[in-house]
């Protein structure tokens, strides 16, 4: 019997699992690589590049992430509002103060495929600045 989280893939069904990662004192890039691999399903033997076979990932303590060197002041995040002269720039330090989850989100999003497949994968990422999260009912496993 197939559940809601089971998808039929090549005649076989697989179940999406939930993982939780504590971002406290973890380097941003190394953490983002691990998260992107789990979202894509590269940790499973059924990995296929053109299928979304990944699992859900919950990141906690996103405001306690670590950057090396002078990246807190030198790394810039830009977005354009659509109006003339509407280029907005934030350093990593200011972005962490405004939106603590966006540092992790943008790092992981850059490592996923572009297009509809990447959009489906990034929806399985849940990021929280605090140590608590509302996904306890899914019984997430700790991912090292």
Model pLDDT for residues 48-77, shown as the tens digit of each residue: 899 999 999 999 999 999 999 999 999 999
Report the CATH number that the domain containing residue 34 is assigned in CATH.
Answer: 3.90.1180.10
Strand partners, 91: 76
pTM of the model: 0.88
Name the token pair of 98: 């405004």
Name the token pair of 4: 């809601």
Give domain status of residue 86, yes or no: no
Looking at the 3D structure of the chain, how many domains does it have? 1
Give domain status of residue 72, yes or no: no
Mean pLDDT, residues 13-19: 85
Kindly list the distances between the CA atom of residue 64 and the CA atoms of 16, 38, 47, 84, 88, in Å, as whole numbers in the listed order.
28, 21, 32, 35, 24
| % of the chain at pLDDT higher than 70 | 90
State the residue range of the domain holding 110: 14-67+101-142
Whether the predicted pLDDT of 127 surpasses 60: yes
Give domain status of residue 84, yes or no: no
């Amino acid at each position: 019997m197939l559940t809601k989280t089971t998808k039929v893939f090549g005649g076989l069904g697989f179940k999406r699992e939930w993982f939780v990662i504590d971002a406290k004192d973890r380097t941003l890039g190394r953490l983002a690589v691990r998260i992107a691999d789990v979202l894509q399903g590269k940790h499973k033997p059924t990995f296929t590049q053109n299928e979304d076979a990944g699992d859900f990932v919950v990141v906690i303590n996103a405001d306690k992430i670590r950057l090396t060197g002078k990246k807190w002041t030198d790394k810039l995040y830009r977005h354009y509002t659509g109006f003339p002269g509407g280029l907005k720039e934030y350093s990593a330090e200011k972005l962490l103060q405004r939106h603590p989850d966006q540092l992790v989100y943008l790092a992981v999003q850059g490592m996923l495929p572009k297009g509809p497949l990447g959009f489906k994968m990034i929806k399985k990422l849940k990021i929280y600045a605090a140590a608590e999260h509302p996904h306890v009912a899914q019984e997430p496993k700790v991912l090292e």
